[in-house]
């Protein structure tokens, strides 16, 4: 069923060779929270520690996923037919291509993630789908991503693109300049392109959010919580579409029931900007 990796941990058959089974991965913990089956014991322990700090953690992750679904549907309705999903994670519970191609079968999607498990399973899922591909790359390597042959084969950067950066920029410290990173991408995108961003914050629940932040120090991608004004800066040079920068459940909900009485308890801002 599995192999020892030399540390006593058991490597499942589905895990690529060389994957570290002893350091938690946010992508795999996210998959677990969404009901997926591709996580290790260390990932599940990590998620439970997050949940101890924020009991609504599972709902928080699901609300983020639901925001991404609504944002993609919005972009398809606005005429977008090609998407670049940075930090796409493990394919589970509705991916960008599921949403976009259901709305328009001509939609094309390039997934990018640094996690080998995420990319391996994305490739399996996408077998036979000529309109979607997954590449393993660090989201900070803009040129490598945009110049990648698989990207060039699917995306025409002379035409509008939907850039999805859901719950990824808070995995980058200030030294990585996430504001400049977004700008690097948007500078290469045609007018009429859109950018969907969600980002964790401590604004609404500082004690709980900072406790969860400490838990992320166990991973290779520790988090950085940012206040609203810093998240808003990620949209500089873009026109925010209504309703602006809001809590994830508040961004164009399909029904009022989705929002709940306290959306701020999910500690995640969300918004979509348009390049004019």
Among the listed residues 91, 194, 177, the one whose alpha carbon sits nearest the alpha carbon of residue 140: 177
| Percent of the chain residues topping a pLDDT of 70 | 91
Instruction: Give the residue, 140 or 42, on which the prediction is more confident.
Output: 140
**For all residues of the chain together, what is the average pLDDT?**
90
Tell whether the model's pLDDT for residue 1 goes beyond 50. Answer: no
Among the listed residues 80, 125, 126, the one whose alpha carbon sits nearest the alpha carbon of residue 103: 80
| Residue pLDDT, tens place only, 7-39 | 445 555 555 555 566 788 888 888 888 888 778
pLDDT of residue 184: 98
| Residue pLDDT, tens place only, 38-71 | 788 888 998 999 999 999 999 999 999 999 999 9
Tell whether the model's pLDDT for residue 200 goes beyond 50. Answer: yes
Tell whether the model's pLDDT for residue 164 goes beyond 90. Answer: yes
Residue range 249-273: mean pLDDT, rounded:
94
CA 185 to chain centre: 15
Is the alpha carbon torsion for 44, 49, 52, 53 positive or negative?
negative
CA angle 121, 122, 125 (to 5 degrees): 85
Say what the alpha-carbon torsion angle 217, 219, 220, 225 is, to the nearest 10 degrees.
-50
Q: Report the predicted TM-score, pTM, of the whole model to 2 decimal places.
A: 0.90
Residues in the chain: 276
Greatest CA separation for the chain: 54
Which residue segments constitute the domains of the chain, with CATH numbers given?
60-203+222-274 (3.40.50.150)
| Residue pLDDT, tens place only, 210-231 | 999 999 888 777 899 999 999 9
Name the token pair of 174: 């200030």
Q: Cα–Cα distance between 125 and 134 in angstroms, integer?
A: 10
pLDDT of residue 3: 40
Q: Cα–Cα distance between 21 and 43 in angstroms, integer?
A: 9
């Amino acid at each position: 069923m599995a192999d020892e990796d030399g540390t006593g941990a058991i490597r499942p058959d589905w895990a690529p060779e060389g994957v570290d089974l002893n350091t938690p991965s946010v992508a795999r913990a996210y998959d677990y929270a969404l009901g997926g089956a591709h996580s290790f014991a260390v990932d599940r322990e990590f998620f439970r520690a997050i949940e101890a700090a924020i009991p609504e953690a599972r709902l928080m992750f699901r609300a983020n996923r639901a925001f991404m679904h609504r944002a993609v549907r919005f972009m398809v309705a606005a005429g977008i037919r090609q998407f670049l999903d940075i930090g796409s994670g493990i394919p589970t519970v509705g991916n960008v291509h599921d949403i976009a191609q259901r709305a328009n079968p001509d939609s094309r999607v390039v997934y990018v993630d640094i996690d080998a498990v995420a990319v391996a399973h994305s490739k399996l899922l996408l077998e036979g789908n000529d309109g979607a591909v997954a590449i393993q790359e660090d989201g900070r390597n803009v040129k490598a991503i945009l110049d990648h042959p698989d990207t060039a084969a699917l995306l025409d950067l002379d035409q509008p693109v939907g850039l999805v950066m859901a719950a990824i920029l808070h995995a980058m410290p200030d030294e990585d300049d996430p504001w400049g990173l977004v700008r690097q991408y948007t500078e290469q995108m045609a007018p009429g392109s859109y950018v969907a961003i969600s980002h964790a914050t401590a604004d609404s629940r500082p004690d709980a959010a900072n406790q969860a932040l400490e838990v992320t120090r166990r991973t290779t991608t520790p988090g950085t919580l940012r206040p609203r004004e810093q998240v808003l800066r990620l949209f500089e040079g873009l026109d925010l579409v209504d309703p602006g920068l809001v809590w994830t459940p508040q961004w164009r909900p399909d029904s009022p029931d989705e929002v709940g009485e306290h959306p701020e308890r999910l500690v995640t801002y969300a918004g979509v900007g348009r390049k004019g």
